[in-house]
A and B are shown apart, each in its own frame.
Chain A
Amino acid sequence: MTENALLQYALYFAALIGFAAAYGPYMARVYDGRPGRLGRVFGPLERSLYRLAGVDPDAAMTWKTYAAAALLFNLLGTLAVYALERLQGLLPLNPAGLGAVGAHSAFNTAASFATNTNWQDYAGETTMSYLTQMLGLTVQNFVSAASGMAVLAAFIRGLRRRESENLGSFWADLVRGTLYILLPLSGALALFLVWQGVPQTFGPAAKAALVETVRYDDGGKTVSTAEQTIPLGPVASQVAIKQLGTNGGGYYNVNSAHPFENPSPLSDFAELWAILALAAACCVMFGVMVVDRRQGWAVVAAMTVILVPMILFCAHGEQQGNPLMSKMGVGRLAVEGPAATSGGNMEGKEVRFGVADSALWAAATTAASNGSVNAMHDSFTPLGGLVPIFMMQLGEVVYGGVGSGLYGMLVFVIVAVFIAGLMVGRTPEYLGKKIEAFEMKMAALVVLLPPILVLAPTALAVVSAQAKASLANPGAHGFSEILYAFSSMGNNNGSAFAGLSAAVPFYDVLGGLVMLVSRYWIMIPVLAIAGSLARKKAAPPGEGTLPTHGPLFVALLVSVVLIVGALTFVPALALGPVAEHLMMIGGR
């Protein structure tokens, strides 16, 4: 690993933590209904929206009402995206004249964007009209992220409140998260990206006369083209929120590897920062809301302790390059100076990002449930590619999705205090709330569901002829493609080993269901825990209370997350990336 890579990684975490410290307290005020200066700008809009909807923002919701509102809203979103995709041929803002998206693909995409997964079985520039991208996909990028943050706010209220049924109002949380947290950041990031070169226009694709005519083989006969069609569109506005909202669904087929979606090292750093920025800020917000900031920072520490070694491991794997290519005389060492090269494994990577930024992105995007990519993970070295798979399999709780990552992690916190309580023989408690049988049952559901959603469909796929026909690579790597796909959909990530041709009924339908179950069957038990905790009395800390802000607890929490993840997935990983690595260094 180069010194420059380490410097970039250090700056990355500095930018992340600095932002979280500043923005987290503001987010806490937003969910308390005190957005400050922005309230003067958007306040009238917010209030007229409540009037239109007949909503009292201060009305109490029980956990069941809160869950019903969240599910209903997400159902509407799913249906709207499906309808837009199927009808886009008849609707305006479609300069390329694209027709309706096929039924199973449209279902998959609708489920994918509503669940904040953004798994994409399609190529954006050749499938979705401007209208579908904006009114369907961009909208879901905002509201699926805002839904995740709303559920987190409700969960935190459950921890904070005593003997109460009230988790707050889903509608107020949804609207406030969108207006005050997501929109201002997205607008600023979008303009920064345009400055760096990301297009933002409603005009049609541009045509360019190529400098050299390209000759190519088309079904046996040689044809030539002297023209390049360059697709444009309202790209920056969608890319900004897909990064910030941990959505990840690209405007173009290759996502942020596309030079229009991510044109420069600076745009890359900004987009990378946006992947984890809000998830980190959510942790600080949590600390502020439970009136003990150390609790939030302890969670950030646990997440960072897991993420940093993963980044280094991935970067190391990629920097080693491909020994099978080295044998042919291809260089692999990084060189500074006038004849600079990043060295390493460059298949599927862009020169402007090189090895260091591609590895950082791969680890960050799968730590968060973002799933955008700036390099093709399918072409990573086996050990480099193992990192994104394993990060997803940890359940998207290492930073994780905005909102959803932290509520997932807090469920692991509950499991960790329960285990600690068992060890010393005391009733476990967290933030003054006793953790009892009901909470543990719900937590077990949350922790156990994703592994089932990953491993069962993977097993089904390896015996399905249709699923296997979609593979782009033979042998162990082909198995990794399937494992990656369901690790991604089963944890609402959305990135892919993109060689897999996923636009077939098997992956579309099964994957769509997996994404829906993973998102909502976790959301409901999380809200149930919140409802149960809110009803409890405060249990004053005693001598046997385990402090949950110190290094000891951070280490315990990290162990629980890693052990659950490793025990469940090591056998599957051995069949995929590990087997491939052994074959590669064995020279086969």
Chain B
Amino acid sequence: MKTVLGQMRPALAVFAALTVLTGLVYPAATTLIAQLLFPRQANGSLIARGGKVVGSELIGQAFRDPRHFWSRPSATAPFPYNAASSSGSNLGPTNPALLRAVAARVAALRAADPGNAAPIPPDLVTASGSGLDPDLSPAAALYQVPRVARARGLPAEALRALVEERVQGRGLGVFGEPRVNVLELNLALDAPMTRALQRDAKAVTH
């Protein structure tokens, strides 16, 4: 007991000092430097259009309009891509609830694009870990090109080129996987340039 009591003052003093140092000084100093060097990233990598914040380039959004590229399924509650409450489905591989959900997603993709017999890229019918995955694999984006092209009256080749120029390769050519940011891709689709292209395509066909 004497051993313990003798250590009381050092314990309290060291705990208080390290709390201030690692709990206040360290995060505050990191914030200061981060805000100076990387203000955009430090504040959430937000994307603005016309002075209005329309999202973060790192946080996915739900897209179900056939004229947009659909994002991956999301398991967040109460609605998909709820950024305030990140979550995966946590369904095990043999769980009937998972298999039913995947079957329904496969059916929806096939129904929206009946001519497309390609194997479905797995990321397009499975929920991401965060429920906020901002990306699609290039395969999953390209899989949707025929549907989006038809819905927008755009030539599929132009759309395919738009996707391919937006593919981000592996980090330093090695790390992670290639990917396409869905929000940025869809914003590019909605941009005036692309809409002009859409009008031209219509003018040619009519």
CB proximity of B127 to chain A, nearest CB, Å: 6
B interface bracket (residues with beta carbon within 8 Å of A) = 35 or more
Decide if B136 touches A351 in the complex (CB within 8 Å). Answer: yes
- Cβ contacts under 8 Å, B156 to chain A: none
- Cβ contacts under 8 Å, A7 to chain B: 174
Q: Given the known A-B contacts A200-B30, A259-B132, A583-B94, are A328 and B14 also in contact in the complex, defined by CB atoms under 8 Å?
A: no
Decide if A237 touches B30 in the complex (CB within 8 Å). Answer: yes
Interface pick from A204-212, A307-315, A391-399:
A204-212
Nearest neighbor of A225 in chain B, beta-carbon distance: B79
Nearest neighbor of B95 in chain A, beta-carbon distance: A473
A65 and B5 alpha carbons, distance in the complex (Å) = 10
- Cβ contacts under 8 Å, A201 to chain B: 31, 34-35, 42-44
**Per-residue CB proximity of A135-170 to B under 8 Å, as 1/0?**
110110111000000000000000000000000000
- Cβ contacts under 8 Å, A509 to chain B: none
User: Which residue from A190, A228, A379 sits with its C-beta under 8 Å from B83?
Assistant: A228
Q: Does A340 contact B (CB under 8 A)?
A: yes
Decide if B22 touches A332 in the complex (CB within 8 Å). Answer: no
Decide if B177 touches A340 in the complex (CB within 8 Å). Answer: yes
**Per-residue CB proximity of A328-356 to B under 8 Å, as 1/0?**
11111001001111111111111111101
Decide if B129 touches A174 in the complex (CB within 8 Å). Answer: no
A227 and B158 alpha carbons, distance in the complex (Å) = 31
Decide if A257 touches B129 in the complex (CB within 8 Å). Answer: yes
Q: Given the known A-B contacts A7-B174, A253-B85, A340-B138, are A236 and B8 also in contact in the complex, defined by CB atoms under 8 Å?
A: no
Decide if A232 touches B61 in the complex (CB within 8 Å). Answer: no
Q: For chain B residues 15-34, which have a beta carbon within 8 Å of chain A?
A: 15, 17-19, 21-24, 26-27, 29-31, 33-34
Q: For chain B residues 102-136, which have a beta carbon within 8 Å of chain A?
A: 102-103, 106, 119-123, 125-136
Q: Does A265 contact B (CB under 8 A)?
A: yes
Q: Does B196 contact A (CB under 8 A)?
A: no
User: Which residue from A199, A259, A353, A374 sits with its C-beta under 8 Å from B134?
Assistant: A259
- Cβ contacts under 8 Å, A353 to chain B: 176-177
CB proximity of B180 to chain A, nearest CB, Å: 9
Decide if B175 touches A269 in the complex (CB within 8 Å). Answer: yes
A356 and B175 alpha carbons, distance in the complex (Å) = 10
Q: Given the known A-B contacts A268-B176, A328-B106, are A203 and B43 also in contact in the complex, defined by CB atoms under 8 Å?
A: yes
Decide if A190 touches B30 in the complex (CB within 8 Å). Answer: yes
Max chain A C-beta neighbours (<10 A), residue from B22, B72, B95:
B22
- Cβ contacts under 8 Å, B187 to chain A: 211
User: Which residue from B10, B22, B23, B138 sits with its C-beta under 8 Å from A54?
Assistant: B10
The tally of CB-CB contacts under 8 A between chains A and B is 407
Nearest neighbor of B132 in chain A, beta-carbon distance: A259
Q: Given the known A-B contacts A212-B61, A214-B79, A379-B93, are A325 and B122 also in contact in the complex, defined by CB atoms under 8 Å?
A: yes
Q: Does A545 contact B (CB under 8 A)?
A: no
Q: Does B198 contact A (CB under 8 A)?
A: no
Q: For chain A residues 166-192, which have a beta carbon within 8 Å of chain B?
A: 171, 174-175, 178-179, 183, 186-187, 190-191
**Per-residue CB proximity of A58-73 to B under 8 Å, as 1/0?**
0000001100110011
Decide if B170 touches A4 in the complex (CB within 8 Å). Answer: yes
Decide if B85 touches A232 in the complex (CB within 8 Å). Answer: no
Decide if A200 touches B89 in the complex (CB within 8 Å). Answer: no
A376 and B72 alpha carbons, distance in the complex (Å) = 16
Chain B residues with a Cβ under 8 A of chain A: 3-4, 6-15, 17-19, 21-24, 26-27, 29-31, 33-35, 37-38, 41-46, 52-56, 58-65, 68, 72, 78-96, 98-99, 102-103, 106, 119-123, 125-140, 142, 164, 167, 170-172, 174-179, 183, 186-187, 190
Beyond contacts A214-B62, A341-B138: 13 other A-B pairs, Cβ-Cβ < 8 A, are A52-B17, A53-B17, A136-B23, A138-B23, A178-B21, A194-B41, A195-B37, A211-B55, A230-B83, A238-B27, A325-B126, A331-B122, A349-B123
Q: What are 16 A-B pairs at a CB distance below 8 A?
A: A54-B9, A183-B21, A200-B34, A206-B53, A208-B55, A225-B79, A229-B83, A238-B27, A263-B58, A265-B171, A265-B176, A345-B126, A346-B128, A351-B140, A354-B177, A498-B88
